[in-house]
Chains A and B, each alone.
Chain A
Amino acid sequence: MSNLRILVATKRVVDYAVKIRVNAAGSAVETANVKHSMNPFDEIGTEQAIQIKEALAKSKAGTAEVVVVSCGPSKSQETLRTALAMGADRAIHVDSDEELQPLAVAKLLKAVVEKEKPDMVILGKQAIDDDSNQTGQMLAGLLNWPQATFASKVELGDKSMTVTREVDGGVETVKTPLPAILTTDLRLNVPRYASLPNIMKAKKKPLAKFAAADLGVDIKPRLQTLKIAEPPKRQGGKLVESVDDLVDKLKNEAKVL
C-alpha cells in the first residue's frame, strides 16, 4: 500500500468524570455548563490512526493521511482541535444543531466517506452519553463495507486488515479487505497527550465545515425518548438468616433470579 487515507469519527460528549444530573424538565441529561470532552473511545480511534501513520512513515512502506470528522453543533470543533493537536492532519465539521441519532450520524458519515474516499473509517465502539454501539455497524451496512468491531488489536496488511476483537465469548480474530469499518475498544491503545507544540501547530491545520443540510441526508430522529430518570436512591442493606432466605429475597424482592 502506498497512500492510506484514514477517516476517524469523533463525538463531543459530557466528560466521563462529571456527575451527571437529569435536567429540570426531566427530558434529558443536563448538558448546559457541564464539562465536555472527546468520547474516550474516539480518542483511542484517533490515537490508532496516528499510530498507523507513524508506523508507515517509520517503515517507509507508505504514507497516511488522518482526517478527523465530527457531526454536531459548533462546539464540536473543540473536539476536532483536540484530535488535530494529537496529530491528525485535517478536520471536517458537519454542522448541525439538531439531535443526531446514530442512524443520522451514519448517513452523514456515508456522505463524508463518498467525498473523501478513505481506505478505512475508525469509530469508537460507542459514545459514553448514549452507549448506542450502533453508528459503526450502521455505517458499514449503508456502505456495504466489511466491519471489525470492538477491536483490541489491529494489523494492516496489503489492502487488508487483521483485527482481534473482544467479544462476549472471549477474543476473535478476523481479517477483512480494505476499505473497511473499525470500531475501537478500550484495550486497543493508550491515547497520547497532545504536546504543547502540537497544540500550537494544530491551529494552522485545515478545518472544513459543511452544513448537515447541504449533504442531502435525512437526519430526522427515528427514536423518541419517553422518560429519563435518575436511578432509585440507594437503600440500606438487610441481614439474612439463611441461604433460603437470601434466595427468597433475591427472587421476590430484588427480582434478579
Chain B
Amino acid sequence: MTSLLTLAARRVPLRLGRAVTSVSNQIRNISSTPLDPSVGLTDDQKELQSLARNFADNEFAPKMQEWDENQYFPADVLRKGAELGFGGLYTREDVGGSGLGRLETSIIFEALSTGCVSTTAYISIHNMCTWMIDSYGSEEQRQKYLPKLTSMEQFASYCLTEPGAGSDAGGLSTTAVKKGSHYVLNGSKAFISGGGSSDVYVIMARTGGPGPKGISCFIVEKGFKGLSFGKKENKLGWNSQETRAVIMEDCEVPVENLVGSEGQGFSIAMKGLNGGRINIGSCSLGAAQASLEAALEHVKVRKQFNQPLANFQNTQFKLADMATSLLSSRLMIRQAATMLDQDHPSVASFCAMAKLHATDECFKICDDSLQLHGGYGYLKDYKVNVYLRDSRVHRILEGTNEVMRLVASRSLLTE
C-alpha cells in the first residue's frame, strides 16, 4: 500500500500530462542552440513538431527502456497516437489519414523517435502500408482496410524480404498463382516487423516471370487460410516490435486483394522505399538528438580531475563533431523529404544518400554519446544503449547502406 505522499508525488507528473523523469528529459535552452530541430520550419510545422515531441516525452520516453527490456509491443500507446493522427500521416483524410506531406512526416518521426526509436519505426512501417493501399489500391480496398488501419484498430506489416531475397529483392521467390476467385500464395517472408501481431499484411509475390516485372502486390489478412508465422525473433534492438517470419502454404487470397495490376508490385515497392528511407533516416535523427542531449547533460555533471568533463578539449571537440554530423544529417533528410514532396526526377538518389548519411552518422553519434557516458553508458540504467542498439539496424533495412551507394552512383554515372 503506497503512502499518500508517494501517490501524490507520482500523480502530479501524470496529471499535468507530462512526466519529468530525469535530468536528461528536461528541456534545455535548445532554442538558443544550433541543435534546435525547429530551425528553418514554418509555424505550422513547429506546431506539429511540438505535438510529436510532447507525445514522445510523455508517452514514449518513460516506457522506452521497459518496452525494450520486456520486448513489449505497446498497442495501447500506439492507438493513443493514432487518435492524434499518427496512424496515417501521409494517407488521405477521407479514410482517416492526416494528409500531411513527407517533410511534416519526417519532422514528426524525428520528434517521436527521441522518445522511442523502435516504436516510432514501427509507426513508420505501418504508415508505409497505409500509404501503399491509399495510393495504389482500388476504392473498395481503401474503404475496406484504411479506416481501421489509420485508427490503428488494426495493425499492418510490410512483406518484401525473404530468406533468399534481401538486397536482391527483385529475385524473390514467393509465388502467387491465380486459381478461379483466388490467388494461391506459397513461400515465406523473413524479418517482418509486426509479423504475427499485425492484422493486415502487404505482401509482394511473383505472379509472372523472373525479375522485378513479375512481382505483384497483395493485401493478406491474418486468418486467411494458409497464413502462419514463425517464432518471435530475439533481436539486438527494435524490441518493442515483434519480428517474425510470415509463411504462406497454399495461402488463399481473394483476387480483389490484388493491389494495382499484376506486375506492378516492384514499382510500388520501390516508390514505397523512397519514403521509407526518409522515415528510417528520421528515426535515426531522433535517436541521435536524444543521445546528444543526454551526453551534453552528462558531461556538465560528471567530474574527473576536479572538473566537469565539459572542460576538456577532447570532450568539446567530440561534441562539436557530433552536433555537426547531426545537422548535416538533418538537412539531407529534410531536403530529400522536400524532393519527394516535389517529385524531383532524382528523388531516389536524394533519399538513398540522405538515408546513407543519416543512418551512418547518427549511429556514430549514439556510439560517441555512449563513450562520453563512460562506464555508465554501458549500463542499462541509462538510455544511451537503447538508442545505439535501436539505430544500428537502420544501416541495414530499407535497403542496406551498401545498396544506397549503388542507387546514388547509378544516378551519377547514367548518361
Bound pair (A, B): yes
- What interface size band does chain B fall in? 20 to 34
Q: Which chain B positions have C-beta within 8 A of A78?
A: 43
Q: Are B27 and A196 in contact (CB under 8 A)?
A: no
- Complex contact A19–B26 (CB within 8 A): yes
Cα-based distance from A81 to B29 in the complex (angstroms): 23
Q: B55 contacts A199, CB within 8 Å?
A: no
- 1/0 per residue A165-208: CB within 8 Å of B? 00000000000000000000011001101111101100100000
- Contact between chains at B28 and A19 (CB < 8 Å): yes
Interface residue? A40 (CB, 8 A): yes
Determine the main DSSP class of B at the interface with A.
Answer: helix
Please name the residue on chain A nearest to B83 by beta carbon.
Answer: A195
- B89 in contact with A196 (CB, 8 Å): yes
Q: Does B5 contact A (CB under 8 A)?
A: no
Query: Closest residue of chain A to B27, judged by CB?
Result: A17
Query: Is there a chain A Cβ closer than 8 Å to B60's Cβ?
Result: no
Encode B13-31 as 1/0 by CB contact (under 8 A) with A: 0111110100001111111
Alpha-carbon distance between A78 and B54 when the two chains are bound, in angstroms: 16
Contact B29 A186 (CB under 8 A): no
B283 to chain A, nearest CB (A): 18
- A197–B16 Cα distance when bound, in Å, is 23
Q: Which listed residue, B32, B47, B89, B98, touches A34 by the CB 8 Å rule?
A: B32
Q: Are B48 and A199 in contact (CB under 8 A)?
A: yes
Residue B86, interface by CB 8 Å: yes
- Docked pose: A33 CA to B31 CA in angstroms: 6
Chain B contacts with A in 27-74, Cβ cutoff 8 A: 27-32, 43-44, 47-48, 51, 54-55
Q: Which residues of A contact B55 (CB under 8 A)?
A: 193
Would you call A15 and B27 a contact (CB within 8 A)? yes
Q: In the assembly, what is the distance between CA of A43 and CA of B28, in Å?
A: 22
Establish whether residues B98 and A197, one from each chain, have CB atoms under 8 Å apart when the complex forms.
yes
Binding site for B on A (CB under 8 A): 15-19, 33-35, 40, 43, 78, 81-82, 85, 186-187, 190-191, 193-197, 199-200, 203
14 A-B pairs in the complex with CB atoms less than 8 angstroms apart: A17-B18, A17-B27, A33-B32, A34-B32, A35-B27, A35-B29, A40-B16, A43-B17, A187-B11, A193-B17, A196-B100, A199-B48, A199-B51, A200-B99
Excluding A35-B31, A191-B17, 4 further A-B contacts by CB distance (< 8 Å) are: A35-B29, A195-B84, A196-B86, A199-B51
